[in-house]
Structure 1
Amino acid sequence: MNHARVFRTVLGITVAYSVVLVIWLGWLSHRTPPGTLPMQVFMLVGLFGSFLGIGLLLAQRPPRSDRHLLRHGLEGWATIEGVHPLLPTDHCTELTELDLELVVPGSEPYHGSIVFDVQPVHRPKIEVGETFSIRVDPDNRDRIIVCL
């Protein structure tokens, strides 16, 4: 999870909501029909919750460059030649350096290494000798995405 992106999303939605609340309190609330104040407050709180939920869903999406690479990257595969655990993270995963032999059809195999955040569900797939799918940027062969 990209904590900075989530923080910016929550902050932006809260600031926008505060501006809407100030406009509503200062200009609209006393111009509305009598007896509708509770419903207006209910709607404002509901809209804040809805926008916050939608914003958090969108904040968890991969960045645009990664989505572009997943759609337009060259499909290949990688064979794990070495697994070097680096450190556990605070969300039950472990940063691991993987030494890989990368193969993209139509080109020579090459070697590389990546640092990958291994989730517990993917741990059995991350062993020496295992093969998994990757996407490689056609313009920069050093930029890859693991597709587990």
Structure 2
Amino acid sequence: MFHERIVRTVLTITVGYLIVLAIWLGWLVQHTPPGTVPYQIGGLLAAYGSALGLGMIWADRPPRADRKLERRGLEGWARIESTQRLAETADHGQLTELRLELTVPGEESYSGRVVYEVPASMREQFVPGKTVPIRVDPHNRDRIVLCP
């Protein structure tokens, strides 16, 4: 998860909403037809909630470099040699260091390690001996992304 990006997005949208609310309260509400203020407040709250939802969806996407690697990286697989749990995450996942034997077709196998947040629902897939699909940067073999 990209918690820092989500927090920044929520703060930015909230500040923007407060600015819009201040403009509405300071100037626009005086020029509105009588009896429409409750509907305007409902519309402002709905717009804020929609902006928050869309912003959080956008902020939770992987970074552009990871998305590009998932699309254009070389396909391969990694056999998990060992795992070491580092920490519990806020959404009940586990930050885990994985030691891997990486294989890309047409190239020599090599060892590597990656720190990965393993979701609670996928813990049985990330045990020593299991194989997971990966994508490898063709220009930097040390840059990989897991594709479970």
TM-score, with structure 1 as normaliser: 0.91
**Aligned counterpart, 2:65:** 65
**Aligned counterpart, 2:80:** 80
Alignment partner of 1:87: what SS? strand
**Aligned counterpart, 1:136:** 136
Establish whether residue 15 from structure 1 lines up as the match of residue 15 from structure 2.
yes
Stretch deviating more after TM superposition (73-82 or 83-92): 83-92
Matches of 2:90 and 2:49 in 1, distance apart? 27
**Residue 90 of structure 1, CA deviation:** 4.0
Moved over 4 A (4+): none
**Residue 24 of structure 1, CA deviation:** 1.3
Establish whether residue 97 from structure 1 lines up as the match of residue 97 from structure 2.
yes
Stretch deviating more after TM superposition (9-18 or 92-101): 92-101
Alignment partner of 2:140: what SS? coil
**Residue 62 of structure 1, CA deviation:** 1.2
Total equivalences in the alignment:
148
**Residue 126 of structure 1, CA deviation:** 1.6
**Residue 140 of structure 1, CA deviation:** 1.2
Matches of 1:3 and 1:83 in 2, distance apart? 24
Alignment partner of 1:34: what SS? coil
Matches of 2:54 and 2:46 in 1, distance apart? 12
Matches of 1:92 and 1:48 in 2, distance apart? 28
Matches of 1:116 and 1:82 in 2, distance apart? 13
Quote the sequence identity (%).
54
Matches of 2:83 and 2:50 in 1, distance apart? 42
Alignment partner of 1:9: what SS? helix
**Aligned counterpart, 1:6:** 6
Matches of 1:46 and 1:119 in 2, distance apart? 32
Stretch deviating more after TM superposition (126-135 or 82-91): 82-91
Stretch deviating more after TM superposition (86-95 or 49-58): 86-95
Q: Which residues in structure 2 correspond to 1:49-64 (within 5 Å)? A: 49-64=49-64
Task: Give unpaired runs (5+ residues) of structure 2.
Answer: none
The amino acid that maps onto 1:68 is: K
Cα deviation, 1:28-51, whole Å, max 9, x if unaligned, reads: 111122222121111111111111
Establish whether residue 38 from structure 1 lines up as the match of residue 38 from structure 2.
yes
Task: Give unpaired runs (5+ residues) of structure 1.
Answer: none
Stretch deviating more after TM superposition (1-10 or 80-89): 80-89
Matches of 1:55 and 1:117 in 2, distance apart? 22
